[in-house]
Amino acid sequence: MEYRVNVCETVPQAVLRMPREVRQGRLGEDVAEGMRDLMATVQRAGLTSIGAPSLTFLEEGPAHETTVVDFRVPVEPAPMLSLRSGAEVVVCAGDLVARTSHRGGYGGLPDAYRALREWMTESGYRASGPPSEVYLVGPDEVTEPRRLITELRIPVLPPPAIGVYVRQRFAETLERVRETLRQRGFSALGEIDMHAVSRRADVEQYLILCLYHPALASRAIASDPPAGLLLPCTVVVRATDGGTRVEAGDPMLYARATGQEALQPIAGEIHRLLTAALDAVRADAGRERPKSHGTAAKGPAEEYAADGP
């Protein structure tokens, strides 16, 4: 099954939270029972559910053991919740999450999680919290596993950089990065070969490119002379995970830090050019190898954390 992944921001909401244990080997049965208890608690407390129930893993354990989870459902608050129920109404803040959907029985969830985490790795997003499962069509609604629909969510950190991961050798990727940046008007100020500088065998191939865009640099300095401190672009090309990762500092972040509105359009144009260059690098690498099946769909150059894998 092919899993499509995207990133969205959840909204703050009040939820009924009910912690309990589930068995990894009998997840379907325990989830169904937990959902029944959750909805029964909603009724006893005089609450009104206003969304799909979910489950958040508070800890992870071996497949043959139990693990503690939170069963949750969005509700409109009400005052009749008994302390003996073990449940409570809490307000959950909005969060940035990577998500995908799985159709079918829970035996296929590991493949969905694998695709979701592969997408996060290739796009550079880092997990910032435990995974959750939202039961859009749960075991309390249907009896046939093939009719189940589960949305998997993993909270992620907002990305401060632009980057791509390609399954291509370092030398080939570096050559293509230089060419695509040159085609888009960037000029090189210098390069730092960290592999050579460190003189350590355990340091992977790692090159830092220092660049600037002459035309846009002139416009930026005309708008704000101190902007020259922010104009050089840093692009990192490094070997990792059987391929190569290319990362570029996001000029939009630097422009926002100055508070100068006049720099925003210029930073936006540099951002667009860097993104287009990295998209071209990924597209070229993709044409040189056959497409794999059953993996997460890949979008354009993603903004992501530069200190990822």
Q: What pLDDT is stored for residue 90 in this prediction?
A: 78
Q: What pLDDT is stored for residue 274 in this prediction?
A: 94
Q: What pLDDT is stored for residue 230 in this prediction?
A: 65
Between residues 303 and 208, which one has the greater pLDDT?
A: 208
Instruction: Give the mean pLDDT of 65-88.
Output: 76
Task: Indicate the class that CATH gives domain 6-155.
Answer: alpha beta
Question: Would the pLDDT of 297 be above 60?
Answer: no
Closest among 80, 135, 123 to 98, alpha carbons compared: 123
- In the chain, count of helices (H) and strands (E)? 7, 15
The whole-chain average pLDDT of the chain stands at: 83
Between residues 279 and 307, which one has the greater pLDDT?
A: 279
Topology alike, domains 6-155 and 161-304: no
Q: What pLDDT is stored for residue 295 in this prediction?
A: 40
Q: What pLDDT is stored for residue 56 in this prediction?
A: 92
CATH architecture of 161-304: 2-Layer Sandwich (3.30)
pLDDT classification of 307: cutoffs 50, 70, 90: very low
Q: Report the distance separating Cα 300 and Cα 209, nearest Å.
A: 22
pLDDT classification of 80: cutoffs 50, 70, 90: low
pLDDT classification of 306: cutoffs 50, 70, 90: very low
* CA R_g for the chain: 24
Q: Report the distance separating Cα 277 and Cα 267, nearest Å.
A: 15
Question: Would the pLDDT of 15 be above 80?
Answer: yes
**Tokens for 129?**
């919290």
CB neighbours of residue 185 within 10 Å: 14
- Contact between 173 and 244 under an 8 Å Cβ cutoff? The reply is yes
Question: In the chain, which residue ranges form alpha helices assigned H by DSSP?
Answer: 27-44, 109-123, 170-183, 194-198, 214-223, 251-258, 264-287
Reduced to 3 states, what is the DSSP secondary structure of residue 229? helix
Q: Report the distance separating Cα 132 and Cα 22, nearest Å.
A: 14
114, with CB counted inside 10 A (0-12, 13-18, 19+), is middle
- Contact between 16 and 38 under an 8 Å Cβ cutoff? The reply is yes
pTM: 0.61
Give Cα 240 to chain centroid, integer Å. Answer: 18
Domain boundaries, the chain: 6-155, 161-304
pLDDT classification of 300: cutoffs 50, 70, 90: very low
Instruction: Give the mean pLDDT of 113-118.
Output: 93
**Tokens for 72?**
């949750």
Specify which residues 245 forms β-bridges with.
165, 238
Q: Report the distance separating Cα 246 and Cα 299, nearest Å.
A: 15
pLDDT classification of 308: cutoffs 50, 70, 90: very low
Question: Would the pLDDT of 293 be above 50?
Answer: no
For the stretch 209-235, pLDDT in tens is: 999 899 888 888 887 777 776 678 899
Amino acid in the structure at residue 103: R
Question: Would the pLDDT of 69 be above 60?
Answer: yes
Q: Report the distance separating Cα 82 and Cα 69, nearest Å.
A: 20
Instruction: Give the mean pLDDT of 124-144.
Output: 88
Q: What pLDDT is stored for residue 305 in this prediction?
A: 34
Question: Would the pLDDT of 41 be above 50?
Answer: yes
Question: Would the pLDDT of 253 be above 60?
Answer: yes
For the stretch 152-199, pLDDT in tens is: 999 998 677 888 889 999 999 999 999 999 999 999 999 999 988 877
Q: What pLDDT is stored for residue 87 in this prediction?
A: 76
